[in-house]
Structure 1
Amino acid sequence: MLSDLITKLLLVFFGYAYPAFECFKAVENHPYNNQQLRFWCHYWIIVTAITVVERFGYFSSWLPMYGEAKLAFLVYLWFPKTKGSDVVYEVFLRPLVMQYEPDMEERFRNLRAKSGELLQFYLQNFTEKGHVLFLDCLRHMVSTRPLAPRTETEGILQQSADAVRNPAILFKLRLTAEEVEEDAVVAESLKWRRRFL
């Protein structure tokens, strides 16, 4: 238990914090050292690939000493004498990504194009469902009110409930015949929609 905590702390420091600081120094170094920037880009691409694989593969939590092996691998990637990120990127990751890059690019483009439509669809459906649920809750609260108010406070609450059920009581609106007919059509369409939802 304590060893897991120590491993996680070391992993955060040596796998993320220290490399992030070194990457920051490389970015802020003027004039830019393109080789150094490329090295840190390789490192973060590999770390991202590892993180994505870990999120979809739950086997990593079952492997003994996985945290320690990951820590050693991340240190190998950035250690100045080994410069493992260049080796891993050029030998393993780059050929793999280059092989599937056109397919990945096409899928990301489709996802980008459909994401707006998908977001609009979910927002519209969730707002409609939320509106219906809110109105159902209000109807339930109004339908469970007592028949005769016993106190002044209950009388005020009953008037509020009546106003929720029939807003015309609250606002004393005068509607034209066309507006009444339009409201009836809208109310009928809402009833029809609720039957099928």
Structure 2
Amino acid sequence: MLGEFLTATLTLLFGYAYPAFECFKMVEKRPGRVEQLRFWCQYWIIVAMVLVFESLLSWLPMYGEIKLAFFVYLWYPKTKGSDLVYDTFLKPFVMQYEPNIEQRLGNLRAKSGQILVFYIRNFTDKGTTFFLQVLNQVVSPTPSREPIRYEVKLILSMFFR
């Protein structure tokens, strides 16, 4: 358990915090260095892809340690891992499927409003029903619930004076 905590902490520090700070410095303090900005953009694209596929890979033994080592490999200046991984694997793969990805994202954007409205309605309908059922159970006149009923009435009277 302690090993997992340590690995998770180190991954947060060296996989996310340090690269995010370096990227921030690149954007804010050195705007003319396009190659460094490209390097950090490649890094974040690869990190995003790792996070997308993480649920498929997280069952592997020592996955956290492998992920930490991979993230350090990506940003470590001597290895320039993000250049290699991006140019060799990620860029050719995404370029091959880019039109299909764009089409699917366009469809998803077009339907996102409808999906959002559906989930909001579903949540509010079920949430209201659930709340009323719980409230009905709490306020119902049974001898064992008498103290609870009094507390609920007191709380409701505070809100609805």
Query: When the two structures are superposed, what TM-score results if normalisation uses the length of structure 2?
Result: 0.74
1:60 aligns with 2:32: no
CA distance in 2, matches of 1:138, 1:6: 44
CA distance in 1, matches of 2:137, 2:9: 53
Matches for 1:67-146 after TM superposition, within 5 Å? 67-128=64-125
- Size of the alignment, in residue pairs? 142
SS of residue in 2 equivalent to 1:80: coil
SS of residue in 1 equivalent to 2:78: coil
Please identify the structure whose Cα radius of gyration is greater. 1
Q: Relative contact order (alpha carbons < 8 A, sep ≥ 6): 1 or 2 greater?
A: 2
Q: Against the structure 1 CA distance between its residues 131 and 68, is the aligned structure 2 distance closer, same or farther, given a 3 Å change threshold?
A: closer
CA distance in 2, matches of 1:69, 1:10: 12
SS of residue in 1 equivalent to 2:109: helix
1:167 aligned residue: none
Q: List gaps (5 residues or longer) in structure 1.
A: 146-197
CA distance in 2, matches of 1:78, 1:109: 32
Note the aligned Cα RMSD (angstroms).
2.7
Q: List gaps (5 residues or longer) in structure 2.
A: 142-161
Matches for 1:1-197 after TM superposition, within 5 Å? 1-55=1-55, 57=56, 59-61=57-59, 63-128=60-125
Shift of 1:121: 3.0
- Percent identity reads 61
Q: Against the structure 1 CA distance between its residues 123 and 72, is the aligned structure 2 distance closer, same or farther, given a 3 Å change threshold?
A: closer
Shift of 1:71: 1.2
Moved more, 119-128 or 75-84: 119-128
Q: Against the structure 1 CA distance between its residues 10 and 30, is the aligned structure 2 distance closer, same or farther, given a 3 Å change threshold?
A: closer
Shift of 1:123: 3.2
CA distance in 2, matches of 1:139, 1:12: 45
Shift of 1:137: 8.2
Shift of 1:64: 2.1
Query: When the two structures are superposed, what TM-score results if normalisation uses the length of structure 1?
Result: 0.62
Shift of 1:129: 5.3
Deviations 1:48-95 (A, max 9, x none): 00011013x1x423x222222111111110011111101100000001
Shift of 1:29: 2.0
Q: Against the structure 1 CA distance between its residues 93 and 124, is the aligned structure 2 distance closer, same or farther, given a 3 Å change threshold?
A: same
